[in-house]
């Protein structure tokens, strides 16, 4: 990940934020039903800058871009083991 470093600033404008959603969130397997804890923190940061998820993102100064540390394109395995007391439909 050449050129990437720890996140130190919030999105500079709405366009940069929209590019982040398109490139990082919508292509991530963790992003389902328009839900993601990192994205939710970004939305909350619109009203309270102290809530911005600096620890979860990376910056690239040359391209004014951000990358999510938790983004994955691999399919997430679903829970197959039954939970104690859970009913199953067969």
Instruction: Flag whether 48 is in a domain.
Output: yes
Query: Is the model's pLDDT at 89 over the cut of 90?
Result: no
Instruction: Flag whether 90 is in a domain.
Output: no
pTM: 0.74
Residue 36 tokens, joined: 């993601």
CB 11 within 8 A of CB 66: yes
Query: Is the model's pLDDT at 25 over the cut of 70?
Result: yes
Domain count, the chain: 1
Instruction: Flag whether 29 is in a domain.
Output: yes
Instruction: Flag whether 24 is in a domain.
Output: yes
Cβ contacts of 56 within 8 Å, gap of 6 or more? 7, 38, 41, 68, 69, 70
How is the chain split among helix, strand and coil, in percent rounded to 5? 30, 15, 55
Instruction: Flag whether 73 is in a domain.
Output: no
Instruction: Flag whether 43 is in a domain.
Output: yes
Q: What is the mean pLDDT of residues 16-38?
A: 86
Instruction: Flag whether 89 is in a domain.
Output: no
Phi first, then psi: give them for residue 20, nearest 5 degrees: -60, -45
Domain span at residue 21? 5-68
């Amino acid at each position: 990940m050449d050129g990437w470093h720890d996140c130190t600033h919030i999105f500079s404008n709405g366009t940069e934020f929209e590019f982040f959603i398109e490139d990082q969130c919508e292509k991530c397997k963790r992003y389902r039903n328009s839900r993601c804890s990192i994205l939710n923190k970004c939305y909350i940061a619109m009203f309270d800058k102290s809530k911005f998820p600096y620890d979860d993102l990376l910056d690239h100064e040359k391209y004014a871009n951000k990358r999510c540390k938790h983004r994955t394109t691999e399919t997430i395995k679903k829970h197959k083991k039954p939970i104690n007391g859970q009913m199953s439909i067969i």
